[in-house]
Amino acid sequence: MSSLTIVIPAHNEEANIVPVFSAISRVMQTCEGIDWNILFVDDGSTDSTIQCIKTLAEKESHVQFIEFSRNFGKETATTAGLHHATGDAAIVMDADLQHPPELIPIFIEKWKNGADMVIGVRESNTGEGLIKKIGSFAFNRLMITISETKMIQRETDYRLVSRPVLDAFQQFTERGRMTRGLLNWLGFHRDTVPFTAAARENGVASYSPAKLVQLAINYFLSHSLFPLKIAGYLGMLISITAGPTLCFMMIDRYLLGDPWHFKFSGPAILAVLNLSLIGIVLTCLGLVALYIGTIHRESMNRPLYVIRAKNV
């Protein structure tokens, strides 16, 4: 008998608590040999979400909950859920039924077949605005290209993580976090499950565009040094083009007496001189960025390594 904890962060989801619970329990009745429970994390809801959860927990032994003192954001709520998950594996799922519970048996099957992490990959998203679609596509592509952490195109937070991953996850101490990014960073054996996200069942999405951008920036900063290095690369580019040009102009005009009649004017030489100085400054900035990058890495204090299995 193995056990499964389903972690559900919920912020103002009063109308979804009971539906999501019944949908999950209907599916779980078909899974034999799995002892399951649902762990709701109420992320400082201002409606009656927590009352709904508490009422449900009194009736149903499968329901557990964590109540936050205020809104800390979905990433923190998910983290708390994963920290408190007691199962041999945990599944993270949204409360709004956008993550179809019917897939849980597939997640479990892939886990039983040896995957440490099973990731829901979104095929398409009904009822999502064009801007959000474009935004998340662009973000994904960008991160896949420049990030040091391996991620999958269109991956979502809907995923199963096994006990070794949960234990390793406990070691992260960084604050500005994107749970999905950290789980990706851990590595382990992964498998994917494609799904089509349904439209939100009840209520409104509480992730505003501004919040999403903030999240993207967080991910960007904690998984890539690329933004820091841009200045340096630019500086080097300017230096290697403007530097030799300047030398050539100076030698031509002041040493050789302009034998080829280029007639470089004083302002032109000054402009190129300026440009090369800017190049030097930017290169130095890039150099400083490397040090900041090191400090950044040290202060994130990620685990040095993550062990998947051992026999010592």
Q: Does 155 bind Mg ion (CB under 5 A)?
A: no
Nearest CB to Mg ion, comparing residues 75 and 96: 96
Q: Choose the one of ligand UDP, Mg ion, none that binds residue 11, judging by a C-beta under 5 to 8 angstroms depending on kind.
A: ligand UDP
Binding residues for ligand UDP, rule: CB under 6 A, are 9-11, 13, 43, 71, 73-74, 77, 94-96, 98, 200, 205-207
CB of 12 to Mg ion, least distance (A): 12
CB of 62 to ligand UDP, least distance (A): 18
CB of 136 to ligand UDP, least distance (A): 9
Q: Choose the one of ligand UDP, Mg ion, none that binds residue 207, judging by a C-beta under 5 to 8 angstroms depending on kind.
A: ligand UDP
Using CB under 5 A, which of the segments 32-40, 93-101, 125-133, 134-142 binds Mg ion?
Answer: 93-101
Nearest CB to ligand UDP, comparing residues 101 and 235: 101
Nearest CB to ligand UDP, comparing residues 74 and 180: 74
CB within 8 Å of 238: residues ≥ 6 apart: 275, 276, 278, 279, 282
| 306 neighbors 255 (Cβ within 8 angstroms) | no
Q: Does 96 bind Mg ion (CB under 5 A)?
A: yes
CB of 54 to ligand UDP, least distance (A): 17
CB of 197 to Mg ion, least distance (A): 8
Taking CB under 5 A as the criterion, the residue among 64, 98, 156, 184 binding Mg ion is 98
Q: Does 12 bind Mg ion (CB under 5 A)?
A: no
d(CA 105, CA 193): 11
CB of 270 to Mg ion, least distance (A): 57
Nearest CB to Mg ion, comparing residues 43 and 96: 96
Q: Does 184 bind Mg ion (CB under 5 A)?
A: no
Q: Does 43 bind Mg ion (CB under 5 A)?
A: no
Interface residue list for Mg ion (CB under 5 A): 96, 98
